Amino acid sequence: MEEKNNYQSQIESSEHSRQTFWQIYFPLLLTGIGAAAILFLLFGKSAGGAVDLRMWADIAAILIILPLFVFLFALIALTFVGSAITYKISTAAKTGLVKIKQTSVRLTHGVESISKGIHRTWEEVDVLYASLLNRYFK
């Protein structure tokens, strides 16, 4: 059983090494070679005066500024959408609050009338109690 686990561990280790090479080191190596080739082509031709570096600087500036404008536009659009949603929620809340206020006024009126009824009944019981005390326990 232990030999089987040891063999399986060796297989997993070699598989992991292969995956590490193809998923990490190989793309890193290709990227490095590509960057070196681009730098060589760019500066190799510029040494002879064949490439205008100002043109490449303009292209680089455009490639930097263009994504900034795209994200700025997205941020502005999200701001307007958020403002519209906030406005809709606030108007819905205002109409909802009016309905809630009306309901609470009706409920308050109902509770107040019940309270007054209980108070009147209690006063009547108190008067009846006082009259019974005066009549039977003078």
Q: What is the DSSP string of the chain?
A: -HHHHHHHHHHHHHHHHHHHIIIIIHHHHHHHHHHHHHHHHHHHHHHTT-S-HHHHHHHHHHHHHHHHHHHHHHHHHHHHHHHHHHHHHHHHHHHHHHHHHHHHHHHHHHHHHHHHHHHHHHHHHHHHHHHHHHHH--
Q: Say what the pLDDT of residue 66 is.
A: 94
Q: Say what the pLDDT of residue 52 is.
A: 72
Q: Say what the pLDDT of residue 46 is.
A: 61
Is the pTM higher than 0.85? The answer reads no
Q: Say what the pLDDT of residue 4 is.
A: 60
**What are the tens digits of pLDDT across the range 121-130?**
999 999 988 8
Q: Say what the pLDDT of residue 67 is.
A: 94
Give the residue ranges of the chain where pLDDT is below 70. Answer: 1-11, 45-51, 138
Q: Say what the pLDDT of residue 64 is.
A: 93
